[in-house]
Amino acid sequence: MKVANAPASTPIPLDVILGEEFMLRFWAKVDRSGECWIWQGSKDRQGYGRIKSPGKRVNLKAHRVAYAMVHERDPGEDLVLHGCDNPSCCNPLHLEAGTHSDNMSEMYAHGRRWSRMPLADGYTMTAIRP
């Protein structure tokens, strides 16, 4: 059975993710030994952690779930930005809600540019670091 990746605006079921069972399952997949808390579970091609939403056939982005757990609110249409520039990081101190424009400004400030790079399954946007 294929599980779909959720777009950024997919609602996060707060009643489920704030439950003890899900929280234990979630944080067991996070290595909190360093400055960045690295997601150890499944990741997408860009390195963002993903976790299956209980009872649904959709993967949620781990950093968005971490943000929602700590702030007890769904970020909704907002993006959840990584101040550390590490897509696998789930440290709530490194995460903040922002707009697409905020994300592009942050990307530019960190010296990243986007370019189309050929991959086996076609063309995909890939970050280029100087």
What pLDDT shows up at residue 130?
44
Give 67-117 pLDDT, tens digit per residue.
Answer: 999 999 999 999 999 999 999 999 999 999 999 888 888 887 877 766 555
Termini Cα distance of the chain: 40
Report residue 11's pLDDT band, with 50, 70 and 90 as the boundaries: confident
At 19, the amino acid letter reads: G
**Residue 39 forms beta bridges with which residues?**
30
User: Pick the residue with more confidence: 81 or 14?
Assistant: 81
Domain count, the chain: 1
What pLDDT shows up at residue 108?
79
User: Does 104 fall in a domain?
Assistant: no
User: Does 16 fall in a domain?
Assistant: yes
Give 60-71 pLDDT, tens digit per residue.
Answer: 999 999 999 999
Beta strand extents in 34-128 (DSSP E only):
38-39, 50-52, 58-61, 79-82, 95-98, 113-119, 122-128
User: Does 112 fall in a domain?
Assistant: no
User: Which structure tokens are listed for 127?
Assistant: 């970050």
User: Does 81 fall in a domain?
Assistant: yes
Range of the domain at 39: 4-98
